[in-house]
Amino acid sequence: MPTPFIYNRKIDQLEGKRAKVYTRKDSPYKGEIFSGSGGIPCLGTDKNGDDIDGVTFTPESGGGLIFIEDDIEEIEFID
């Protein structure tokens, strides 16, 4: 029987889920906390200006964000 695919990256776990996202203090979001919904995979930009994997995020306050793995300190999922 094949082993099920396990999501180890935070950006993968966030896809399509409601969550509170705690960002890292050294990220562009400077430690802010966002509540909202994870969206779909996309490209984000790292500190070197390189395109890397990311995920869209729609905060409850409106607008839209793109998180890369290095932006996220912790995720708290909301039922």
In tens, the pLDDT along 10-62 reads 999 999 999 999 999 999 999 999 999 999 999 999 999 999 999 999 999 99
**Within a domain: residue 5?**
no
Element (H, E) at 72: strand 72-77
Rounded CA separation 66/74 (Å): 15
In the three-class reduction of DSSP (H, G, I as helix; E, B as strand; rest coil), residue 14 is classed as helix
Q: pLDDT-based confidence at 2, cuts 50/70/90?
A: low
Q: Note the pTM of the prediction, 2 decimals.
A: 0.88
Indicate if the pLDDT at residue 8 is higher than 90. Answer: no
Element (H, E) at 13: helix 10-14
**Within a domain: residue 25?**
yes
**Within a domain: residue 1?**
no
Q: Assign residue 41 the CATH number of its domain.
A: 2.30.30.720
Indicate if the pLDDT at residue 3 is higher than 60. Answer: no
In the three-class reduction of DSSP (H, G, I as helix; E, B as strand; rest coil), residue 11 is classed as helix
| Contacts of residue 32, Cβ cutoff 8 Å, sequence gap at least 6 | 23
- Number of domains, the chain: 1
Domain that holds residue 58: 10-77
